[in-house]
Structure 1
Amino acid sequence: MPILVAGSIATDHLMHFPGKFSDQLLAEHLHKVSLSFLVDQLDIKRGGVAPNICFAMAQLGGSPTLVGAVGEDFAEYREFLQSHGVDCNHVHVSPTQHTARFVCTTDTEMNQIGSFYAGAMMESAQIEIAPIWDAVGAELAVISAYDPAAMVKHSAECRDKDLAFVADPSQQVTRMDGTQLAELIEGASLLFTNSYERELLESKTGYSTADIDERVEVRVTTLGSDGVEIVGEFGRVHVPIAQERARLDPTGVGDAFRGAFLTARGWGMSWERAAQVGSLLATMVLESVGTQEYTVEKGAFGERLAESYGDECAADVLPHLA
């Protein structure tokens, strides 16, 4: 099914620190931290929440439409995404701002310290969802992390026009206040967070977990190494992580999960199967440096599904892969 994915579009500057951040932080001096980490690796990669989700969908044969704001420096990135099956015809291009940048350092424990320059993303509120929805015949809109004002606006637009949407506040939980977060999630078909983001969302809004469950149809919470929990009227589903072969960089893992999960749901897969497909794709991102450096090959993907979740899972999923 055609899915609109609205969110940040950025270039990632990914660095590796050969040590532990925790060893450099003194508890009694956290109020005046001034540190510089000498890194031993720099990779410049394509990134941003929305393209990462779209790339995952396209790898599985989905039909994603990218929604967001970029600078005139986006041309090469656009060509790459289009060549991999992502519709970029509705991206807003700023004549004055650069495409956003994400600068992130990862330590040996997979902890991260990052900074995000918004650039053209701050023009995202100029975008309207409904005309793009109509143009592509969309069935779902994903409102993911980018300009908070745009996120709230687009959530309200979806409610007003009765368009099914996914609330995915992600990193912007730290930037948005309780009122914005409450407006973002109200009426969402799905809410995606990790466990820490969910607790912070609850703290800022004053909602309990039960309050949130009353406001969204389905809550999907990723739990790191403990897998993923899905809660809705059907009850509670827990899926463990897929078996890992390496742990190189966690950047974009959650985005890949979301893209694969939603694509599998579009196939008609159960919540459990969708989470299994999402968990495997997330693991494939963890095994690479960069958020769009993997390729889904039908045979190999089926083998890994069987390895992690059994032959029946692989048999259910394989017919849907290109």
Structure 2
Amino acid sequence: MRIAVTGSIATDHLMTFPGRFTDQLVADQLHTVSLSFLVDGLEIRRGGVAANICFGMGQLGARPILVGAAGADFDEYRAWLDRHGVDTSSVRISEVLHTARFVCTTDADHNQIGSFYAGAMSEARQIELQTVAQRVGGLDLVVIGADDPEAMMRHTEECRSRGIPFGADFSQQIARMDGEEIRGLVQDATYLFTNEYEAELVESKTGWTSQDILSRVGHRITTLGKNGVRIERDGEEPITVSCPQEDAKVDPTGVGDAFRAGFLSGLAWGVSLERAAQLGCMLATLVIETVGTQEYELSRARFMERFTKAYGDEAATEVSAFLK
């Protein structure tokens, strides 16, 4: 199964604040917030939602196709992804703009404040999926992740017009989109990925009920933080999957991307939705235990030991057949 993942390619600048953001907020002054946080550390890491998802899929041997735009400073990052099983040949390189950058501060309660510089990402709208499909011999699924908003709309429309199944995964971009734009991205999606807050925001902005959404998509996949994930399909009982016990909660950045990487790898392998979700939750657990979105190590033996403990021998036997 050939899966292309479109979306941002970025460098993450991750900082930690030892206090709580909420302790710094004055209720009657929220209309004029001016705050500066003295942070304890700075980690500069590779990131971007599409690159994060592809890295995880590459670690699992799913050979994803990364589709996005980066700057001339992408060479080292490209080499890293290539070494980890990602097809980067469809990345557009800008002649004038730098690769996008995400700056994020996480407090003691794992709340986050982030800013995102788009840079070369704005040129993603110039990428045609048909060119990608012709290069790789066809696409079975395109995941449309957070990206230049116009690129997201164009990729969605191209998937519809060419009959390519697609997943809607707008994550960070949902805040700037209006109801009409969200409805355009959701309609006819084979998979709709959100977290709980985004799920509520989709309903609020579109004016659609949960049932309205289920009637318009194939699968509605909602991540539930520490409580795992829920998969809903119209007319069928929901599938719920819990998360494995983490060794430590170090940094939540990229946890959602890791879930998608594991889930999509499961789809590529042809396992059940439940098994794919278990794989996603296991990978997400590895990421929350690590600073950075692509810094975790996937040791097959340790991965299978923890997967077996969380989901049982039958699940582990099925998954182990695909891990090399």
- Shorter-chain TM-score: what band? over 0.9
Asked whether 1:281 is paired with 2:292, we answer: no
Give the aligned residue type for 2:212: D
Give the aligned residue type for 1:161: R
Correspondent of 1:318 among 312, 317, 320: 320
1: distance between equivalents of 2:178 and 2:148? 13
The aligned counterpart of 1:48 is 48
Correspondent of 1:270 among 269, 272, 277: 272
Q: CA deviation at 1:129?
A: 0.9
Give the aligned residue type for 1:117: Y
The aligned counterpart of 1:109 is 109
1: distance between equivalents of 2:60 and 2:2? 13
Instruction: Give the match's secondary structure for 2:79.
Output: helix
The 5 Å alignment of 1:143-292 reads 143-233=144-234, 234-292=236-294
2: distance between equivalents of 1:34 and 1:297? 45
The worse-fitting range, judged by mean Cα deviation, of 68-77 and 261-270 is: 261-270
RMSD: 0.9
Instruction: Give the match's secondary structure for 1:229.
Output: strand
Contact 2:2–2:268 (Cα < 8 Å) also in 1: no
2: distance between equivalents of 1:231 and 1:135? 34
2: distance between equivalents of 1:136 and 1:128? 13
2: distance between equivalents of 1:111 and 1:294? 21
The worse-fitting range, judged by mean Cα deviation, of 242-251 and 292-301 is: 292-301
TM-score by length of 2: 0.98
Between the aligned residues of both structures, percent identity stands at: 57
2: distance between equivalents of 1:134 and 1:242? 39
The aligned counterpart of 2:89 is 89
Q: CA deviation at 1:135?
A: 1.4
1: distance between equivalents of 2:268 and 2:68? 22
Instruction: Give the match's secondary structure for 1:288.
Output: coil
Correspondent of 1:308 among 307, 310, 319: 310
Give the aligned residue type for 2:306: R
Q: CA deviation at 1:295?
A: 2.0
Give the aligned residue type for 2:73: D
2: distance between equivalents of 1:167 and 1:208? 17
2: distance between equivalents of 1:148 and 1:292? 25
2: distance between equivalents of 1:51 and 1:42? 21
- CA-to-aligned-CA distance 1:225-280 (integer Å, 9 cap, x gap): 12110001442101111110011101100001001101112212111111111001
Unaligned segments of structure 2, at least 5 residues: none
Instruction: Give the match's secondary structure for 2:271.
Output: coil
2: distance between equivalents of 1:214 and 1:90? 33
Give the aligned residue type for 2:311: Y
The aligned counterpart of 1:294 is 296
The aligned counterpart of 1:132 is 132
2: distance between equivalents of 1:11 and 1:284? 20
Instruction: Give the match's secondary structure for 1:308.
Output: helix
The worse-fitting range, judged by mean Cα deviation, of 252-261 and 224-233 is: 224-233
Contact 1:56–1:256 (Cα < 8 Å) also in 2: yes
Give the aligned residue type for 1:285: V
2: distance between equivalents of 1:242 and 1:74? 34
Q: CA deviation at 1:12?
A: 0.1
Instruction: Give the match's secondary structure for 2:302.
Output: helix
2: distance between equivalents of 1:152 and 1:46? 26
1: distance between equivalents of 2:53 and 2:91? 15
Instruction: Give the match's secondary structure for 1:104.
Output: strand
1: distance between equivalents of 2:202 and 2:140? 27
Unaligned segments of structure 1, at least 5 residues: none
- CA-to-aligned-CA distance 1:184-219 (integer Å, 9 cap, x gap): 111111000001001111111111111111111000
- CA-to-aligned-CA distance 1:112-160 (integer Å, 9 cap, x gap): 0000000011111111112202211321111000111110111011000
Extract structure 1 runs of 4+ deviating beyond 6 A. Answer: none
- CA-to-aligned-CA distance 1:264-314 (integer Å, 9 cap, x gap): 122121111111110010010000000001122221111001111122221
Give the aligned residue type for 1:23: D
2: distance between equivalents of 1:132 and 1:140? 12
1: distance between equivalents of 2:314 and 2:18? 41
Contact 1:243–1:307 (Cα < 8 Å) also in 2: no
Instruction: Give the match's secondary structure for 1:68.
Output: strand
The worse-fitting range, judged by mean Cα deviation, of 153-162 and 304-313 is: 304-313
- CA-to-aligned-CA distance 1:73-98 (integer Å, 9 cap, x gap): 11110111001111111111110001
